[in-house]
Chains A and B, each alone.
Chain A
Amino acid sequence: MELFNEILQTILSGVSIGCIYGLVALGFVLIFKATEIINFAQGEMMVLGAFIALTLINVLGFPYWIALLLTTVLLGLFGMLLERTVLRSLIGEPVFAIVMLTIGLGYFVRSSVSMVPGWGTDTHGFRTPFTDRVVRYGELVLSWEQLAIILMTGALILILFAFFRFTRIGVAMRAASQNQLAAAYMGISVNRVFSLTWTISAALGGFAGVLLSPITFVHMNMGFIGLKAFPAAVLGGFGSIPGAIVGGLIIGITESLAGVYLPVGWKDIAAYIILILVLIIRPQGLFGIQEKKKV
């Protein structure tokens, strides 16, 4: 019973960190589905989101919920701006060039954050409605922060699901990601779809950043957690939205189990070992579809 509780406890904390991986992975997947680009700067969106929320809450005195909403909207606008100014002209260039471009963007955003007065290279934190509160259920203890991550991720997924399922623009986005040419013939503005994809994905990054900040604190390097989201996205199959979340959960749980039951060091590479195994055994991931290349 003791052992069982311990395992359950570990799994629960894995689920909450897995939700964050899932959210970041979702950002990759959305952009990849629409434009076949991987955005290596997704983690930096989190950093930017966390710092904006920090300013809104600590300096301007906004309540947490409004700050969360505002940050998400601001990051969305930032994503739209990026797409317009930098990425749109690159459609059709080799994939590798675009990947390097997003890596360059990542460097740029991360270091620019460190230059903003009041942000800098220090570690910050802000108060949330969940700080210092825990939920007990029998032997299990779960902090409100972790619970909030799980619940809000769940809510967000439902919203996204409804968006892609029931709204006109959501359906248009799915259509464009399946076949751009056909979508364009049906009167869908593919450019607008791309723009919206970057908006949503950047907003997701910002949202994840705010959610994560009570756990890892706000720091210019917190975006490196985004690198762990790659295994999550690959495990789920890169083009699959539910896959990203399931992949994130699996990676999160494996990691926290490895942290408790395996020697030091395994925790950090467990995700990448899974990544390489998946790529060798089943490159299309859990939910992906094997694509045949046309010549």
Chain B
Amino acid sequence: MRFIMKRDYYQDIRLFKYRSTFFWYLALVIGCFLAPTVLDDYFISQLTFICMYSVATVGLMLLTGYTGQVSMGHAAFFGIGAFTSAILSSKGVPFVLALPAAGLLAGVVGIFIGLPALRLSGLYLAIATMGFGFIVEEILVRWESLTHGNMGMMVDPPSIGPLLFESETSYYYLTLVILTLTILAARNILRSPTGRAMIAIRDSEVAAQAMGISMAKYKTTAFAISAFFTGVAGSLYAHKLTFINPESFTIFVSIEFLAMIIVGGLGSIHGAVFGAAFIIFLPQLIIMTKDYMPKYLADQTGLDPVLYGLMIILFILFEPLGIYGRWRKTRFYFEMFPLYKKDTFRREKKYFKAERH
């Protein structure tokens, strides 16, 4: 364990805690950029999906993991982003404009959802956002003149100026750049006063209010930022699949996003990426283990969702801090060896004292 003497306040909110951290992240980014030279197209395509979903989960993480507002309607923002981008592209708007437009429209809708959210908390908010998700899905199906309803829409691969992102590798670079920008933006938001206000709201709304933090301002900001990132991810999704229809944006997608951030580890940007990676690779893992299963079980179509549900249950029961929590524990174990105490990571259970009338 290293201890650094902190000499001023700004040292505390630096992007990289140690110099070596910067080095390792740089190595990671370079590694990601070099990946296409060793991996085949299939893996690159999977990595593209991870990058794409990570943009959305980082957005959701800001809202749920850092501001404490559970949203079960993020598929709606994802869908709004995808369809905005698809419709604008079909009208001839270049990708450079369609992508931010998708994010902005989702962000504006996010503000409108954030407003009623001011009066709601916890479970009520989850249910309200779920209802919002259903309504948006139905609008996407019924507004046929704009979205072509269940017929779906074809989307062209994007291009920026002379660059056409058609091959797996080029699209991978595009999503990787956007993911890197997203993570940098999220990190910077989190160390700014806005981010600190969001974290304060998560930890205690009453205490935050007493410190002079405006609930209305920061909750709607959190919704808007989160929706913006998810909308951008939706736009990337549309251009990657080149075909979208409203069925891709149901409540199950919202639940998948939530599962990603739970599995990855709530309250950390790492967790958002880890979770996305885990959920994307899960079907692959299942296929790989299928050879070792009894035939009857391996042939079932319900196998994927069963294992999916089981995994959520097991994570919440046995590793509530998610993959990132496990990683931190492992690292801490070696740093403190042989003095590791299990209780370092024990969480305070909050027994509710229900006093109702």
Contacts and interface: CB of A to CB of B under 8 A. Distances in A.
Interface of A: 32, 36, 38, 86, 89-101, 103-115, 121, 177-181, 227, 230-231, 234, 238-239, 264-265, 268-269, 272-273, 275-276, 279-280, 283, 289, 291, 293-295
B354 interface: yes
Contact of B313 (A93, A101, A234, A289): A101
A97 B262 contact: yes
Interface stretch (B28-36, B301-309, B326-334): B301-309
Interface string B311-339: 11100110010000000000000000000
B255 interface: yes
B310 A108 contact: yes
Interface of B: 64, 70, 116, 119-120, 122-124, 126-128, 130-132, 134-135, 138, 141-142, 206-207, 251, 255, 258-259, 262, 266, 297, 300-306, 308-313, 316-317, 320, 349-357
A243 B120 CA distance: 19
A177 B354 contact: yes
B70 A99 contact: yes
Contacts, number: 159
Contact of B141 (A32, A239, A265): A265
B134 A36 contact: no
A294 B312 contact: no
Contacts of B131: 230-231, 272-273, 275-276
A239 B356 contact: yes
Which of B120, B258, B297, B317 has its CB near the most chain A CB atoms (within 10 A)? B317
B354 A107 contact: no
Contacts of B123: 32, 38, 95, 99, 238
Given A89-B317, A178-B357, A275-B128, A103 B312 contact: yes
Given A38-B123, A96-B70, A276-B135, A104 B356 contact: no
Nearest to A85: B317
A35 to B, nearest CB: 9
A132 B35 CA distance: 65
Given A108-B313, A121-B301, A279-B120, A289 B356 contact: yes
Nearest to B129: A276
B178 to A, nearest CB: 28
A111 B313 contact: no
A291 B124 CA distance: 13
A265 B142 contact: yes
A267 to B, nearest CB: 10
Contacts of B128: 275-276, 279
Contacts of A111: 302-306, 309
B122 A95 contact: yes
Which of A91, A108, A264, A291 has its CB near the most chain B CB atoms (within 10 A)? A108
B123 to A, nearest CB: 5
Given A92-B351, A230-B130, A272-B135, 17 more contacts: A89-B317, A99-B126, A106-B309, A107-B306, A108-B309, A110-B302, A111-B306, A112-B302, A230-B127, A234-B127, A272-B134, A273-B131, A279-B120, A279-B128, A283-B119, A294-B353, A294-B355
A284 B207 CA distance: 23
A9 B4 CA distance: 76
A112 B306 contact: yes
Given A99-B70, A275-B128, A107 B350 contact: no
B64 A96 contact: yes
21 contacts: A95-B122, A96-B126, A100-B262, A100-B316, A104-B308, A110-B302, A111-B309, A113-B302, A114-B300, A115-B302, A179-B354, A227-B130, A238-B123, A268-B134, A268-B138, A269-B134, A275-B128, A276-B131, A276-B132, A279-B124, A280-B119
